[in-house]
Structure 1
Amino acid sequence: MLGHQVKVEFIRVFTWRQCMVWAALVLVLPAIQFMLIKDHYLYYRQLDLFLRLNSNFVPLLFPIIMVLVYAISFPSEQKNHFIPYVRIRIPLTTYFFSKLIVNAILSFLLAFLIVFVPFVFSMYIEPYLGIVRLYPTDGNPIPYTTFEQLLALGTLPYGILYSLWVGLNGMMYATMGLLLVMILEKPFVGFSIPFVYYLLGNFITQVFGYDQFSPTYTIFPFSIQQQPLWTVFVPFIVLCFVVILLIFYLKERLHKHHD
């Protein structure tokens, strides 16, 4: 039954309005960012353009962007009293978890594409267009960033693996937001908490001098010197732990409600 409901949710979500939101996140947002930065920075290599494209809007608003992928549509069902009607047809556990699965898949894919599309443009398309001028380093050291260790595998593997990492984090923040809305039944509060968690994590790590464990820098490490790859997993594990606790809490609450 869960698999069937997941299919139903996928069919329901592909509306023109939602597709326009996805297109804006994947194509329009990077295009605007490119127009803003293309003439205002020095680039020593094509990778610098990619790093700069992911250094403003996306890192700052990452949890909010992830909520816009799918979870933002759920409060309308709560507001319109659609959920009590659904409960007559299928168990609430099946209904809620089908939405969590669809949300996880879509947010992962969109977060992946938000990074991978600019990567492909920066590394493989822009060099043919010649819009951005590269400057010689003149002996100046290039500030390498975390994840550039993966360049030893090749440029494309680096782009894919890094985009997968952003996708995983995007999925977790989107899942946290949807879980909180399901639990609290207060959309504004539920969707705000992941963003507050994100900002608070950045603030605490900076105050105590552990910037390498900042939620932002471990996903978008373009404003900090290169760190060992293991450091990025510390906030990710904490985030996963929080999401798992919320899943268990929601499951227990639904079982009690059903009983």
Structure 2
Amino acid sequence: MLGHQVKVEFLKVFTWRQWVVWAALVLVLPSIQFALIKDGYVYYRQLDLFLRVNSNFVPLLFPIIMILVYAISFPSEQKNYFLPYVRIRISLTTYFFGKLIANAILSFLIAFFIVFLPFVFCVYVEPHLGIVRLYPTDGNPIPHTTFEQLLVLGTLPYGILYSLWVGLNGMMYATMGLLLVMILEKAFVALSIPFIYYLLGNFIAQVLGYDQFSPTYAIFPFSISQQPLWTAFVPFGVLCLIVVILIVYLKERLHQYHD
């Protein structure tokens, strides 16, 4: 039953408008960023170009971008009093969790491709186009960032693994947003909380002098010196804990609602 509901959600969400939104997130944002940074910076490696492409819009707006993938559509169902009609056909538990699974899959894929497509372009396509000039290091040390430890596996494995990491984080922020919309009555407040948490976490980490544990640097560590990989899992663990607590709370609330 749950699997069928997930399929229904996918059929509902695959509209031309949603495809336009996804295309804008995956293609337009990185393209704008590339146009802004292709000149005026010194690049020693193609990887430096990739890191710069992921240094402005996406890190700043990451939770909002993830909510735009799917969760933003749920408040309209609440406003149209659609949920009472749903109960006649299917349990709210199945309905809600079908949406959560569809949201998790879609947000993971969008977050993955937001990073992986620019990686492929910057590292493998751009060298053939010659748009950006690389400079010799001339003895200058190249600053390495967190997750570049994965380069020992090869450039492509690094790109895939790092994109998977961004996908997992994107899935968690999108899930948090959708859970909050399902729990709280005010949709705008619910959808704003993941972004507020994201900003507040960055602020607290900076004030305490633990920038390596900020939510942003756990995903996009391009403005900080290389940190041990385990530091990125601390904010991610906190994020996962919040999502688990919200899921448990939603389940309890749905059971009470059915009772």
**Range of TM-score over shorter length:** over 0.9
What are structure 2's unaligned runs of at least 5 residues?
none
Structure 1 partner of 2:13: 13
Q: TM-score, normalised by structure 1?
A: 0.99
Structure 2 partner of 1:45: 45
Deviations 1:130-177 (A, max 9, x none): 000001111110110000000000000000000000000000000000
Aligned AA for 2:255? H
- Rounded Cα–Cα distance in structure 1 between residues aligned with 2:223 and 2:118: 18
How far the C-alpha of 1:77 sits from its partner, in A, is 0.4
- Rounded Cα–Cα distance in structure 2 between residues aligned with 1:21 and 1:185: 26
Structure 1 partner of 2:69: 69
Equivalent position SS for 1:221: coil
Aligned AA for 1:226? Q
What are structure 1's unaligned runs of at least 5 residues?
none
Q: Which runs of 4+ in 1 moved over 4 A?
A: none
Matched ranges for 1:44-193 at <5 A: 44-193=44-193
Deviations 1:81-114 (A, max 9, x none): 1111111110000000000000000000000000
- Rounded Cα–Cα distance in structure 2 between residues aligned with 1:218 and 1:7: 33
Structure 2 partner of 1:248: 248
RMSD: 0.5
Aligned AA for 1:61? L
Equivalent position SS for 2:181: helix
Q: TM-score, normalised by structure 2?
A: 0.99
Aligned AA for 2:70? Y
Structure 1 partner of 2:218: 218
Aligned AA for 1:126? E
Deviations 1:42-94 (A, max 9, x none): 11100000000000000000000000000000000001111111111100000
Equivalent position SS for 1:218: helix
User: When the two structures are aligned, how many residues end up with a matched partner?
Assistant: 259
Structure 2 partner of 1:234: 234
Deviations 1:175-221 (A, max 9, x none): 00000010002111001000010001000010010001010001000
- Rounded Cα–Cα distance in structure 2 between residues aligned with 1:153 and 1:185: 47
Aligned AA for 1:178? L
- Rounded Cα–Cα distance in structure 2 between residues aligned with 1:191 and 1:183: 11
Equivalent position SS for 1:225: coil
How far the C-alpha of 1:40 sits from its partner, in A, is 1.7
